[in-house]
Amino acid sequence: MDSSSVDIVLNKGGHNKSFEVKIYRIHTTKIMSFPNGSDAEGVLKRLEDYAKNDFEPHSRRMWGHIYYAGLKDVVELARKAYLMYMDKTMLDFTCFPSLLRMEREVVRMASSLLNGDEEVVGNFTYGGTESIMLALKAAREKFRKEEGGNVVPEIVLPATAHPAFWKSAEYLGMRCLRAKLDDELRADVETVKELVGDKTAMIVGSAPNYPFGVVDDIKALSDIAVDGKLWLHVDACLGGFHLPFFRELGEKIPDFDFSVEGVHSISADFHKYGLSPRGASVILYRNAKLREGQIFVMASWPGYPLVNTAVLSTRSAGTLAAAWAVMSYLGFDGYLKLAKKTLYAKKRLIDGLTELGLELLGSPEGAVLAFTSERHNLFKVSTLMAEKGWYVQSQPGSKKLGFPRSLHFSVIPGHAEVVDEFLEDMREVLPECECSYPEMSSFDVSKLKFGEDGLPEDSELISELIHSMPPEIVESVFKQFINELIFR
Ligand SMILES: *Cc1c(COP(=O)(O)O)cnc(C)c1O
């Protein structure tokens, strides 16, 4: 670490001085100039070398980020489909009519699974964030048309709603109002009612939310939406492609889709429980009128008329073809079989971790869940499990906002075969983690150690720092950290 280069001192007026932060520059980039070219074999070899510190996505040892069916044939099919369409662009569907056809078909597949009728329309996007951003834009345009353009439109969402809503609001000049959670970690319906007003352009519910896997009371949110003639968006990025199958298997899944009257739009990710390669999601609207504000057209330049249904313009059709292929291949029965494995792994995990003394948060209906503990340092659990080759995601929560520290688990079908091995490793690790969290009132970030990839090694400390610091300080420090250090 070269400590001579950059000092960032963060000292926001009014905030605790002990959160003064120094950040030092480290150098990790070896390539400092444009390459001279090399043989293909050498290039591939280097790519392989670069991956040496990465987790293996198909190892089943990751309890987050990776949604893997656990089936080699699905991966092989997705890769073939991806390669077949990789070089085609979704920018211009008049050159590649096959893409228009596939897009219509994946929209129908998703819509039929989510109780949509023939009025439902939608578009393929590159991810949940893009789907959400488009729904916000459509709702914003509708709001402006009806209410005029002079106010900042507001989105009322539960504290558990995905940051993609906050990000989209920042991009689109909208404002998020955070509703409290009730005792079961669902959106507190009374708070939502209080927050709704003249400026409300959208209410949001999750099915389920990411942090705890709990499905919001979409029916109650729908009542508010119907009463106030408001737009209700359901974020089913996670649940869209597993909750319907869990229900089919006899699980109690509350109504969350187009069967609920007030639902205007739904986001659902093919690249999560649709089990397709990354870069694949869908945004659905109850009817075409609601989608109007999503579409961007520009004909006043000397080039081709630009027509975009998504945020991104030029993009590979590979991910669309892969999602189309995976769904066509697995079909309803294929997903059902996989959902059964996921459900088995989920139940084993809950029973096992509960027996080991951890505490499940809420009653997650979905495949995603979180555990907390009074007795253990959960961030240390993450560290020690990583040493055993498992990725267990720390959720730092926030002292100030009253969010607990927890460990997150996104359960996938492939976990069915490894869950017992995982629980054995947890049994070994947990006694070592019966300790408290470090005192954070005066921590000097410059003491952090960095690995050869330029990433900080003290993830435990960082998690505790995030828990202890006010979130606006965390956000500010992170922005500087990322800008000055990580991406350079
Ligand atoms: C993953 C996720 C998103 C955002 O999706 P990306 O594909 O990461 O852009 C939104 N909402 C929920 C509930 C999610 O789990």
Give residue-wise pLDDT tens across range 385-412: 999 999 999 999 999 999 999 999 999 9
Q: What is the per-residue pLDDT for 488?
A: 76
Ligand 1, pocket-test mutation among 238, 281, 365, 393, most atoms within 8 A of CB: 238
d(CA 280, CA 126) in angstroms, rounded, equals 5
Q: How far is the CA of 131 from the centre of ligand 1 (A)?
A: 9
Q: Residue written as tokens 């961007």?
A: 296
DSSP 403: B
Q: What is the mean pLDDT of residues 400-426?
A: 97
Please tell me the distance between residue 392's alpha carbon and the centre of ligand 1 in angstroms. Answer: 18
Question: Residue 237: CB within 6 Å of ligand 1?
Answer: yes
- Ramachandran area for residue 182 (φ above 0: left; ψ -120 to 50: alpha; else beta): beta
Task: Provide CB contacts within 8 A for 107, sequence distance 6+.
Answer: 120, 121, 122, 123, 124, 282, 284
Q: Average pLDDT, whole number, for the chain?
A: 92
The span from the CA of 383 to the CA of 62, in Å, is 13
Digit-coded pLDDT (tens) for 83-127: 999 999 999 989 999 999 999 999 999 999 999 999 999 999 999
Domains 1-24+55-71+332-488 and 86-315 share a fold: no
Domain ranges of the chain: 1-24+55-71+332-488, 86-315
Q: Give the containing element (helix H, strand E) for 103.
A: helix 97-113
Mean pLDDT lowest among 154-158, 294-298, 446-450: 446-450
Determine the topology of domain 86-315 in CATH.
Aspartate Aminotransferase; domain 2 (3.40.640)
| Start-end of H helices in 356-441 | 378-387, 419-429
Closest CA to 83 of 285, 430, 349, 321: 321
Residue-level pLDDT at 278: 97
- 404 is written with which tokens? 């607990």
Percent of the chain whose predicted confidence (pLDDT) is above 90: 84
Amino acid identity, position 481: F
> What is the band of 22 on the pLDDT scale with cuts at 50, 70, 90?
low
| 27 band by pLDDT with thresholds 50, 70 and 90 | low
Degrees, nearest 5: CA angle 258-263-266: 75
Query: Are 386 and 448 contacting, i.e. CB atoms less than 8 angstroms apart?
Result: no
CA 246 to ligand 1 centroid distance, Å? 20
Q: Three-state DSSP class for 427? A: helix
Of 166, 162, 159, the residue nearest 181 (C-alpha)? 159
Residue with CA closest to ligand 1 atom 8: 128
Beta bridge partners of 62: 391
CATH number of 1-24+55-71+332-488: 3.90.1150.10
Tell me if 206 CB under 6 Å of ligand 1: yes
pLDDT at 15: 46
Q: Is the peptide bond before 208 cis (omega within 30 degrees of 0)?
A: yes
Taking every pair of C-alpha atoms in the chain, what is the biggest distance, in angstroms? 68
Rounded-to-10 torsion of CA 63, 107, 262, 166: 50
Confidence at 452, pLDDT banded by 50, 70, 90:
confident
* pLDDT confidence tier of residue 20, bands split at 50, 70 and 90: low
State if residue 160 touches ligand 1 by the CB under 6 angstroms criterion: no
Count Cα atoms within 13 angstroms, Cβ side, for 277.
21
Can you read off the two tokens belonging to residue 189? Answer: 């319906």
Per-residue model confidence (pLDDT) at position 6: 37
Q: Is the pLDDT of residue 24 over 70?
A: no
Q: Determine which residue's CA is closest to atom 6 belonging to ligand 1.
A: 128
Which residue's structure tokens are 């639902």? 263
Nearest ligand 1 atom, CA 162: 11
> Mean pLDDT across the stretch 444-456?
76
- As a whole number, mean pLDDT of residues 11-33 equals 56
For residue 135, how far is its CA from the centre of ligand 1 (angstroms)? 14
Task: Give pLDDT, residue 480.
Answer: 87
Put simply, whether the predicted model's pTM sits higher than 0.85 gets the answer yes
Percentage of the residues of the chain whose pLDDT score is greater than 70: 93
320: Cα separation from own chain's centroid: 19
Q: Is the C-beta atom of 216 inside 6 A of ligand 1? A: no
